[in-house]
Amino acid sequence: MSTYKLVMGGRTMRAGSSDARALYERVADALRIAIEREELKPGDMVPPEQELAELHSVSRQTVRQALQQLTNEGLLTSGRGRGRKVRSQTRLHWQLSSYESSTRHSVEGDAWNTDVREQGHEPRQDVTVNIDTPSQKIAQRLQIDLDEPVVVRRRIRYVDDMPFQLADSYFPMDVAEGTLLMRPGDVSTPGGILASIGHAQKKLLDEIQIRMPSKEESDQLNLPAGSPVAEHIRTGYNEAGKPVRVMVSIIPGDRHTLVYELEPK
Amino acid sequence: MSTYKLVMGGRTMRAGSSDARALYERVADALRIAIEREELKPGDMVPPEQELAELHSVSRQTVRQALQQLTNEGLLTSGRGRGRKVRSQTRLHWQLSSYESSTRHSVEGDAWNTDVREQGHEPRQDVTVNIDTPSQKIAQRLQIDLDEPVVVRRRIRYVDDMPFQLADSYFPMDVAEGTLLMRPGDVSTPGGILASIGHAQKKLLDEIQIRMPSKEESDQLNLPAGSPVAEHIRTGYNEAGKPVRVMVSIIPGDRHTLVYELEPK
DNA sequence: CAGTGGTCTAGACCACGCT
DNA sequence: GCGTGGTCTAGACCACTGG
């Protein structure tokens, strides 16, 4: 019936052509083009696998391979029983160069809250406080030993009640002990707090790595398959050059644009 | 024969357990753990699909699903006829906050070259120069119309002869015309050049987005499946506040750590 | 040319979300 | 309960790479 098939049960080929694109890539292309042309808009349902299989005269597995590729590219959502949707692509801007600037702090929380509100959304942060021994990664940046305890403030940040990023701050014991930093909840701002206890951050070192999320991060942030994250590690130093804080943020790529404003000398 | 199988041709389940992890996830876990424990080291060959299928008593397709997941996480390479290997994870540091700083320029090229050499590798850049009309994205940042021509310097940057990143610079015609910027090849540094023609960059705006690469980017950079990239857009402004350059870099996540040093006020 | 990964089919059952 | 996606099998042929 189909003009495509020349061989049953094996590799199908197009008549008069030696090879060209795989079948599943042709199915993927068709959908990609439909999305580009906005025939399928963000939020729209993608036709069921069975329907696409019949439409393109291929097996359901082949359709699945195409859909998998598109999901990996971040174009589609997936989920048992739910059907597939075209993903929306709104991004929140996060001003990392002014994040610790005192002018952006308020009684309403830290600079991140301000950023979110300015963009017309509602921020929320869940903070838990622990005392723990540091990982290699943290100990090295705080310049302490692996058995020296640190105070950890673990944040999950929400926007409009959707989980949006993870941000864990680590403080050396001698900096945090007996201060507001030991208090759970969204207590004003770390930048502000650090300054108020005599450890204003005079220098910041930001390291950014791009990678796929771990299973755990993926679950906590409710990430779709194939959605990359940035791991942002900020180390803050006080006037004496001592590291007083390390913040590790896991930032879903599809929901953020990171922004730095620089004035080179 | 296998204690795992209760149902033929359908979902297999473990005796005494209601559900738990899928078979392909168990196969993936086994390999992930072997890699973590360095029983499989970067460069090592992964056992053939057939062998893994027999080892875990599953079908080859199920093994493939596990291998696909690991490849998407950037842990394995793939390739027809070649077998699979454990990928190495070296990352290059890129100092973005001092990238335009005049002290890091030399006759050997721009600050990127310096960064790479300091980390013990050999940089190379292929540069082509074009005159083109800008995309929406570029025109908006250069504050020009869509029909005003721009000078485009397209770079492919190599490290040890491997393609490493794409970096395209866009200049307004009135800035670039009749200057070194029109010359192809690796002509010293854009920061340096811009200063020498009276358009030193006094302010920089960096925007970073994390996403999956397009097919084209993936091919140009020879990226493995499932490897995310950062799209880094730097807009440079001269003393008068006029945008004089936009640089768009496509940065493979698994090969880079981006670094910013900041001194908050 | 042998061995490996890449693509494809046909059919089956399971688990989840919704109405 | 129906429809959707998720998992799995068994078997087949193709295409590339390397000895």
Give me the DSSP letters along B126-173: EEEEEEEPPPHHHHHHHT--TTS-EEEEEEEEEETTEEEEEEEEEEEH
Sign of CA dihedral B110, B115, B116, B118: positive
Per-residue CA distances from A130 to A181, A182, A201, A214 (Å): 10, 8, 22, 22
Nearest to A72 among B100, B209, B226 (CB): B226
Does the CB of B105 fall within 7 Å of any strand C atom?
Answer: no
Question: pLDDT category, B188, cuts 50, 70, 90?
Answer: low
Per-residue CA distances from A18 to A4, A15, A240, B71, B237 (Å): 13, 8, 69, 28, 52
Question: pLDDT category, B14, cuts 50, 70, 90?
Answer: very low
Q: Do B204 and A91 touch (CB under 8 A)?
A: no
Q: How far is B237 from chain A (nearest CA, A)?
A: 10
The token pair that represents B127 in the structure block: 């540069």
Q: Do A253 and B228 touch (CB under 8 A)?
A: yes
Closest nucleotide (C1' vs CA) to A13 is: D14
Question: pLDDT category, A159, cuts 50, 70, 90?
Answer: confident
Around A219, how many Cα atoms within 13 Å sit in the side-chain half-sphere? 3
* Best CA proximity match to B152, nearest among B162, B139, B165: B139
CATH classification of B1-89 is 1.10.10.10, yes or no? yes
Question: pLDDT category, A220, cuts 50, 70, 90?
Answer: confident
The token pair that represents A35 in the structure block: 């999305």
> What is the Cα B56 distance to its own chain's centre?
35
* Best CA proximity match to A251, nearest among A213, A198, A207, A196: A213
Tell me how crowded residue A46 is: count the other CB atoms within 10 A of its CB.
Answer: 21
Which residue matches tokens 């990392």?
Answer: A96
Cα A244 to Cα B208: distance, rounded to the nearest angstrom: 27
Q: For chain A, give me the number of helices (H) and strands (E)?
A: 8, 8
Sign of CA dihedral A54, A56, A62, A63: negative
Q: How far is A261 from chain B (nearest CA, A)?
A: 5
Nearest to A205 among B96, B228, B261 (CB): B261
B163-191 as b/e: b if 16+ CB within 10 A: bbbbbbbbbbeebbeebebeeeebbebbb
Q: Do B254 and A211 touch (CB under 8 A)?
A: yes
State the pLDDT at residue A79: 78
Cβ-based interface (< 8 Å): residues of B facing A: 72-74, 91, 96-98, 100-101, 191, 201-212, 225-226, 228-230, 251-254, 256-265
pLDDT in tens, B134-144: 999 999 999 99
Lowest mean pLDDT segment, chosen from A15-19, B148-152, B206-210: A15-19
Cα B71 to Cα A252: distance, rounded to the nearest angstrom: 20
Per-residue CA distances from B247 to A114, B101, B190, B206, B243 (Å): 29, 16, 10, 9, 11
Order of all β-strands in the sheet with A229-237: A123-132, A150-159, A162-172, A243-252, A229-237, A203-211, B256-262, B92-95
Q: How far is B136 from chain A (nearest CA, A)?
A: 16
| CA angle (B142 as vertex; B137, B144 as ends), nearest 5 | 95
B142 vs A44, which has greater pLDDT?
A: B142
Lowest mean pLDDT segment, chosen from B1-10, B66-75, B161-170, B208-217: B1-10
The token pair that represents B230 in the structure block: 């950062």
Q: Do B260 and A260 touch (CB under 8 A)?
A: yes
| DSSP H or E segment with residue B95 | strand B92-95
pLDDT in tens, A55-104: 999 999 999 999 998 888 778 888 788 889 898 777 889 989 876 665 66
Question: pLDDT category, A179, cuts 50, 70, 90?
Answer: confident
- What percentage of residues in chain A have a pLDDT greater than 70? 84
- Helix %, strand %, coil % for chain B, to 5? 30, 30, 40
Q: Do B253 and A74 touch (CB under 8 A)?
A: no
Q: Which residues of A touch B226 (CB under 8 A)?
A: 72, 212, 226
Q: Which residues of B touch A212 (CB under 8 A)?
A: 72-74, 226, 228
Amino acid (1-letter code) at residue A110: D
The token pair that represents B212 in the structure block: 């999956």
Tell me how crowded residue A5 is: count the other CB atoms within 10 A of its CB.
Answer: 15
Per-residue CA distances from B252 to A215, B55, B218, B221, B234 (Å): 21, 35, 9, 8, 17
B28-54 as b/e: b if 16+ CB within 10 A: beebbeebeeeebeeeeebbebeebbe
Regarding the domain with residue range B92-259, which homologous superfamily does it belong to in the CATH classification? Chorismate lyase-like (3.40.1410.10)
State the pLDDT at residue A177: 85
Tell me how crowded residue A114 is: count the other CB atoms within 10 A of its CB.
Answer: 20
pLDDT at A4 over 70: no
**Which segments of chain A are extended strands (E)?**
92-95, 123-132, 150-159, 162-172, 203-211, 229-237, 243-252, 256-262
Domain locations in chain B as residue ranges: 1-89, 92-259
Cα B125 to Cα B113: distance, rounded to the nearest angstrom: 9
Q: Do A207 and B257 touch (CB under 8 A)?
A: yes
Q: Do domains B1-89 and B92-259 have the same CATH topology?
A: no
Average pLDDT over residues A110-119: 83
CB B144 within 8 Å of CB B245: no
Average pLDDT over residues A23-40: 91
Lowest mean pLDDT segment, chosen from B5-14, B239-248, B254-263: B5-14
Average pLDDT over residues B158-170: 87
The token pair that represents B185 in the structure block: 């090849």
